[in-house]
Every structure is written in C-alpha cells, then in structure tokens.
Structure 1
Amino acid sequence: MRPSRVTLEQAQELFKTCMPVRKKEEKRSADCLGQILAKPVYAAVTQPPFPRSAMDGFALRSRDICRADIQHPVTLEVTGCVCAGQETEFMLKPHQAVRIMTGAMIPEGADCVVKQEDAEWDERAVRIYHNAKPGENYCPAGEDFSAGDLLAEAGTPVDSYLLAAVTAAGVRNLTVYKRLKAAVITTGDELQNTETPLQPGKIYDANGIWLCTRLREMDCEVVRYQTAGDDQSKIADEIREAWKEADLILTTGGVSVGEKDLLPGVIENLTGNVLFHGIQVKPGMPTMLSVVKETPVLSLSGNPFAVEALFEVLAGGYLTDMEASRYLQKNQMKALKQTFVKTGEMKRIVKGRCDESGVYLPQIQKNGQLKNGIGSNCLVIFPEGERTYTEGEAVRVIRI
C-alpha cells in the first residue's frame, strides 16, 4: 500500500533519521580545503611571535623624538640594521635608532617605528622630522592571536582564509568531516547528454548536472552519475551498483503515477523500505524517500525546480549542518520587495533573490524553468492557502 503524503516538516525529519552519522577524519590541513571542521581549532603559536615593524623605517623610543617637527628635527645615532627574518639582539639606549625593514623584529627598548619618508639618514645618524606615538607602525606580539586562542569553531568551512590562519598558527592537522559519497541516477528516455547533437523529442540532462554540481558545492563526493532511461531493470541495476559505495542515492523522475513512473516498482522489487511517497508541497509533491540495503534513496520529481527545491529543503540542512555546529542554510524572515500572488491551497516553494533590503521573487515561477534560477540565492516557503502577499510583508526565506 502506498504511504500517505507527509508534511514538509515530517519529510525533513524522516530524511535526517535515515541518513548516516557523519564520520570524522584527521588529515593535513592543506588537504582539507572545502571540508567542514569537525573539531574546533586552537593556535599552537602566537602570531606574530615577536614585535615587528609595519613598514621600512627606524625603530626607536618615542620619547626621544617627542619634540621633533619640520623646523626642529631630532638627530639620533644609528646603531645597526634589522631585516625581515633576522634575529636581533640590539638593546636601544636613549637617543639611538635602528634601521628596520617591514616585518623585521623590533629591538628591545624601541616602542615605535618612524617611516623612512619622514627621515634623512646615513650609516651613522638619522634626522627625524616628525614625532611618533608609542605603538606607531609597531605590531606587538600576538596582535593577530596568541597560542591557545580559538581560531575556528567546529562546523566552519575550510577555506583559504582559515588555511592561512592555521598555517600561521603552526597547526599541521585538522579534524574534518569525511566527504559524504553520493550517487545520482536520472531517469527518462527523453534525457540525452550534451556530447551529441540534440535529437528530436530529447532534452539535455540538466537535472543530473545540477545535482552533481550542487553536491560538490556541499562538500560531497559524487561517486556515480548515470542516466537510466525508462528501463526498470537498468534503474534497478544502477541502484545496486550505487549502494556499493554511496552513502546517499538521488534519483530524478519516475515517481508519480504515470505508465513510465517506475521508481516505486523498482524500490519494491529491491525490497526497499519506503518512508514516504508524496509531500504536501508544491513543487515536488510526488517525492519519495526509501531505504535500500541501509542506503537512503531520495527520489525526486523530474521537473527541474522540483529537483532543486526539494533537494535543498530536505538534504540541504543535513549536508551543511554537520551535527548542529553551523547551519549554513539560514531560515529568516524577509520583507517582500513586490506583490506576489500565491495560488493553490498547498504549501508552496518559490525561488528568489534576497539582500539586506528584502527578497525579490520572479513573477513567473514555472517548474521547468532554469534561466530564472541564475542569480537566485534563496527559497521562499509560503504556507497553505491562496492569498496575495503585498510588498513589505514578511515571508519565510531559506538562504542557499
């Protein structure tokens, strides 16, 4: 017997319950780009580890030049030069200065750096034409962070900034979530890949490409992508192959009640357990979730926006949340930037584009459209019931 339709919220919970717990791994930090931190990261060393100069100039004691100006320059003895990467043992005495380069260690006794443009000098002496305050052009040890400081919480994506920070902090390894392995199987005899000229009655498989790329954006590894047509045995074979290595199988098409809607029969023949078949939402009402050989199979409608919307609201939270540390899909309330007429009694999902001022919705929201998704960065979920939403009214937005 076909399970009854569930609410969108029930579908989200059922999806989470059947997904595996994300595994963790420790690996070289440089190899973690794009993954998600599974443990917080703390600095192993202080950055900078010593006081350093912010520019080329002269390290000195600010009180020695407190009266310096254009009319009354102050002359100091130059006792040496320090370049970046050198250790210095200079100990400045009153009325002494050290020539210093950007990034170099500031000698003991100096509390500021006068930039070279404000001075005249030779090997023995420097004439200063401007006074300087303590700490001017002076980067203290630990200006960025100190050893033991928290650099990033668990749940933070590993990007170029994080890798730069942990490298400076002396962190060699990170603990991250293992990349979830996903398989994508698209169905329908009408689908064709882009390597051959488009044949009459055919369309290119945009759904498969969208799912594969979106999964990679969410730090998943796509281990298999195949088009199975409308062939029940081939669809079953593809699922059998996929469950050998995939943590999640995604299918598109074939989940409604037509002659070519083969997925329910395939899952039954594979002795899969159907958790739900049908969601009280538009688009994507026929969406089905099942478990085959302990592997979740999320079967999406064949309409492009139904694929996109239901994937985001069902799988997006799980794939980006990583055990509740940082939920990248933000549920917010945003003001509409124009009137929107919602038709139909069922809960509805539409695509949109939002910024700080509110959310804009394309007026034409057809399930087969792809072009109006370019530049979109959110979904808007309207509750049940027909009504007109006016400009300025707050609506529920999921940031993508």
Structure 2
Amino acid sequence: MLSAQQAEALILNLVQPLDSQQDVEQVGLLSSLGRILATPVTSQLDFPHWDNSAMDGYAVRFADVQTCSADNPAILEVVDEIPAGAIPRKPIQPGQAARILTGSMMPDGADTVIMQEVVKREGDRLFVSTPPKPQEFVRQRGVYYRSGNLLLPAGIPLNAPEIAVLAAAQCTQVTVYRRVRVAILSTGDELVSPDQPLQLGQIVDSNQYALASLLVQAGAEPLLLGVVPDNPEPLKEAIAQAVHQADIILSSGGVSVGDYDYVERILESLGAEIHVRSVAVRPGKPLTVATFKREQGVEVSDGQETRDIRQSIPHSPFPIPHSPCLYFGLPGNPVSALVNMWRFVLPALRKQSGLVRSWEPCWVKGKTRQNLKSDGKRETYLWGRSHLVDGEYEFELASGSHLSGNLINLAQTNALAVIPVGQTLISSGESVQIMQIA
C-alpha cells in the first residue's frame, strides 16, 4: 500500500500534459476565462503607450521650477489644456505650462507634472512655490512593458487580471489548451439516477453529479456515461469506449474486494497497466490508478459477435487523444470518492490541462478548534471549515459522524484537516495541516 505522498508523486509522473501544438483552440477574449494559455503572448505596444500624467495638475519643464520657493515663486504661462484622450496641441517652451489631467499625454518639452493642489492660478498665469522632484507624476512610455518582450507566458490560467492585460494589448483571440475530457461512470446494480423512483435497497448515484461538478469547476469537460451494472461485459464495453473518447476516466465503485468488484480484472483484460491498487489514506483507501495505450482498437463481444469498440463511439468534434489514457477507479462511498478527487485526481487534471505549476493541493497551517482523532494507521482526512482569524487559519470540524458514506455533513465544508500516519490525536488548539478544497 502506497503512502499518500508516494501515490501523488507516481500519479503526477504518469500524467502527460496536453500537446501545445495539437491540443489547442482559439477562443474569443470574453470566452477565455479560466482557460489555460497555450502559447506565449507578446505585444507590439509599449505600456504606457506614451508618456502620460499620473495626476491632475500642470505639465511643466523641471528646469523652470526647480529653484522656486514661497519667497520666489516660478510664474508660468498656461498655454494649453490637455484632457484625457487628446493630443497636445503645443509643445511647452521655457516659462510655459499646460493644464493636464490624469492619464493625459504629456506635451513635448514638458518632463514633470505638478499637482493642482500645490499651485495657484490666476487666469493664464500659474504660480509655483514648491519645487517638484524631476519627472514627478510622469509615467514614462514603456516603464511597465516594452514591446516585443514576453507579456504572458504559456501555461497560466486566464483570470480577470490576465484578460485585462490581453484586452489592453488588443489581443481579442487567444490560443488556449482544449479542455481535458474526463469520462465518468458509476458501477453498481444498486444505483439509480436522481430522477428515477427509489426502490428498497437502491442508492441514488450522487457521485456522477459531484465528480462532474468538480471537473467543471476545474475547467475540464465531463463526459457522463451514467450507471453501469455489475456485469463484466457492459462494464468492459463502457471502459473500452471511454478509453477512446477521454483523456481521463473516472469510475466509482467496484474497486474494493467484493464479489461483484470486477474493475481490476476488466482493466487487465483491456491491456491496462495498473500502477496503484490502494493508498494508505482514510477515507479513500481502495484507489486504482492505471494507464491505457491507444495504438490499437479494443475488441468486445456481446455473445454473438466480436467488434472493435471504436465502431460504436459517438461522433466527437475532437480527434481521439494520442497520449495514454489515465484511469482512476474511485471508491463508491461518496466521501471517499470526493477525498480521492481532491487529493489525487484534481492535481493530475491540473497538470494535464497545461498548467506549468501549482498542480498540488493547496496546503495551509492552522490550529484546530476541536480534538481530531484517528487510529493512526493511515493518513486521515476530517472535513470541516477553515477560517482566517487574525491572520491565522483555524479549522472547525464538521458536526456529525465522519464516515465515508455520510455525505450529508460534507455540505458547506471548505477544508480537510490531515492527521498523519502514526498520530492518533491532535488536541484542540494545536497545529494542524489543512487542505483547502473550496
């Protein structure tokens, strides 16, 4: 059984990021929010585009005002007024000034701006009694960015600041990585979808919805394959189809040691290489991780005929991926499935999506408000809420039982407290490692 850290390292090593040549598309700027930039961006514009004023005031020549004082003010003639967006009409000659507003283009000849609050004006005459600093309140052309240099690197998520930069650079079409396609299937004869009547002994399939929601939040494209019964042939066909449709496959259920847990046997029959069978975490121990190569088709039989599974795959606007398909067999218990998603699947998804960094979960140190208990045999995750109080994170344990089948008290949580292997108690007020999940 692998430790959580060993499993994480192994999984991330298996991931092959999307190809920066083949796995890209162009989208409009307003459609690029949350997407991963696939190619570096440069601009032919300087930022600022020209020297401009950082203050409402007057554009002057420093040489005209550098020795002024209250007893000997500099007296200048105001010869122009430059509103924002206007081109200065006159260069500034010795003894002259121009009224200027914030963001307005500096006139030729002027090199300094004096705040309007520290001068006195009478008609066209300007009295300056306080000497400014050289080039004060002037934003020089190109001081923020020089044309031709790297503006934004590839492999970063596009959020509001980056989109603002692209808009300022007049980049209205953006090359981004396509969304990672993730197939989701749930296994079990006992499962029904939320819109079906619930019979005695049945369970509503919440995993499909929870996993799909996490994937959408992470910028992926979920492919919902629904519930597959505990029958080897339909399950084999569903997984085989998913191999040729998706970059990643998520199945929930069927990876434990029950009489109807067929997943591992099916993976081997389909030629998968299994890398992980279980991880020393609670909840979420029965985690299967495997990879499929896609060079050849997969043949399946319905008892009467054998066919290549690729013949029955629905049409997709994207070509079949060429990189190996990564498979995660998650536990069926809802909390276990979600913990494995947060801890292992989402980091892999972030790496595959083209992000160049920040794949791992977000860890912070804090203190717990309650006693946290474990049997010490596995790394234990307890769910609750983290709060930032006076600059320090505090963890508040969710009320109710912390069992892998109790989905109810997982609602409104935003963090997992981690109890290391070999430790059975973290007392109230003590330091705890916290994994942020929202």
Q: TM-score higher than 0.5 here? A: yes
2:288 equivalent in structure 1:
288
| Structure 1 segment 243-322 matched on structure 2, within 5 A | 243-294=243-294, 295-321=325-351
Q: Distance in 2 between matches of 1:359 and 1:231?
A: 46
Identity of aligned residues (%): 28
Aligned equivalents of 1:78 and 1:196: distance in 2?
Answer: 79
How far did residue 320 of structure 1 move? 2.4
Verify: 1:341 aligned to 2:367, yes or no. no
1:98 is paired with a residue whose SS is: strand
Partner of 2:358 in structure 1?
Answer: 327
Residue identity in the other structure for 1:360 = F
Give 1:23 shift: 1.4
- 1:201 Cα deviation (Å)? 4.9
8 Å Cα contact 1:59-1:114 kept in structure 2: no
Q: Cα–Cα, structure 1 residues 261 and 103, in superposed 2: closer, same or farther, change >3 Å? A: same
Q: Give the direction of change, closer, same or farther, for the CA distance of 1:72–1:314 in structure 2 (3 Å limit).
A: same
Asked if the contact 1:352–1:359 (Cα under 8 Å) also holds between the matched residues in 2, the reply is no
CA offset digits 1:131-180 (Å, max 9, x no partner): 47244543222343333555445443211211212333465776644432
CA distance in 1, matches of 2:413, 2:136: 46
Q: Distance in 2 between matches of 1:101 and 1:245?
A: 58
User: Which position in structure 2 is the counterpart of 1:350?
Assistant: 382
Shift of the alpha carbon at 1:239? 1.9
- AA at the equivalent of 1:274: I
**Deviations for 1:244-291, whole angstroms, at most 9, x for unmatched residues?**
220110011122222443423443554444333222322112222233
Q: How many equivalent residue pairs?
A: 393
User: What amino acid is aligned across from residue 385 of structure 1 in structure 2?
Assistant: G
In 2, are the aligned partners of 1:352 and 1:380 still within 8 Å (CA)?
A: yes
Residue 132 of structure 2 aligns with an amino acid whose one-letter code is K
Q: Deviations over 1:223-245 (max 9, x none)?
A: 34423244544333322332222
Structure 1, gaps ≥5 residues long: none
1:112 aligns with 2:113: yes
Over 3 Å counting, the alpha-carbon distance change for 1:203 and 1:157 in structure 2 is same
Q: Supply the distance in 1 between the matched residues of 2:333 and 2:429 (Cα, whole angstroms).
A: 31
- Is 2:27–2:176's contact at 8 Å kept on the other side of the alignment? no
- Structure 1 residues 346 and 92, CA, compared in 2 at 3 Å: closer, same or farther? same
More off after superposition, 27-36 vs 177-186: 27-36
Partner of 2:161: 161
- Aligned residue number for residue 88 of structure 1: 88
Matching residue of 1:387: 424
SS at match of 1:367: coil
Task: Tell me how far 1:396 sits from its aligned partner.
Answer: 4.0
Q: Are 2:402 and 1:365 aligned?
A: yes
1:307, distance to aligned residue in structure 2 (A): 1.0
The CA distance in 1 between the partners of 2:217 and 2:358, in whole Å, is 15
Asked if the contact 2:182/2:246 (under 8 Å) is kept, the reply is yes
Contact 1:341 1:387 in 2 (8 A): yes
Distance in 2 (CA, whole Å) between partners of 1:375 and 1:133 is 55
Q: Distance in 1 between matches of 2:340 and 2:226?
A: 20
* Residue pair 2:156, 2:355 contacting (<8 A) in 1 also: no
Deviations 1:55-93 (A, max 9, x none): 554323456567587x99876433223333333352212
AA aligned to 2:16 is P
Tell me by how many angstroms 1:369 deviates.
3.5
- 1:209 maps to 209
Determine the C-alpha separation between the residues in 2 that align with 1:215 and 1:379: 19
Query: In 1, distance between residues paired with 2:42 and 2:418?
Result: 39
2:380 corresponds to which letter in structure 1?
Answer: R
**How far apart are residue 105 of structure 1 and its match?**
0.6
Which residue of structure 2 aligns with residue 45 of structure 1?
45
The aligned counterpart of 2:16 is 20
- Deviation string 1:326-384 (CA, Å, 9 cap, x unpaired) is 22435656243233222252232333544451341516423234454455444444332
> Take 1:126 and 1:374, find their aligned partners in 2: how far apart are those partners?
68
- Cα distance in 2, alignment partners of residues 204 and 63 from structure 1: 80
Matched letter for residue 383 of structure 1: P
Amino acid across the alignment from 2:7: A
CA shift in 2, pair 1:193/1:18, >3 Å: same
Matched residue SS, 1:336: strand
Q: How does 1:179-218 map to 2 (within 5 A)?
A: 179-195=179-195, 201-218=201-218
Say which is worse superposed, 198-207 or 101-110, in terms of deviation: 198-207
The answer on whether the counterparts of 1:279 and 1:286 sit within 8 Å (CA) in structure 2 is yes
- 1:227-246 equivalent positions in 2, closer than 5 A: 227-246=227-246
TM-score normalised by structure 2 residue count: 0.75
- The CA deviation at 1:127 is 4.5
CA distance in 1, matches of 2:408, 2:69: 65
In 2 relative to 1, CA 10–34 (structure 1 residues): closer, same or farther, beyond 3 Å? same
Spell out structure 1 runs of 4+ moving beyond 6 A: 71-74
Q: Which ranges of structure 2 fall in alignment gaps of 5 or more residues?
A: 295-324
Q: Which moved more, 1:77-86 or 1:23-32?
A: 23-32
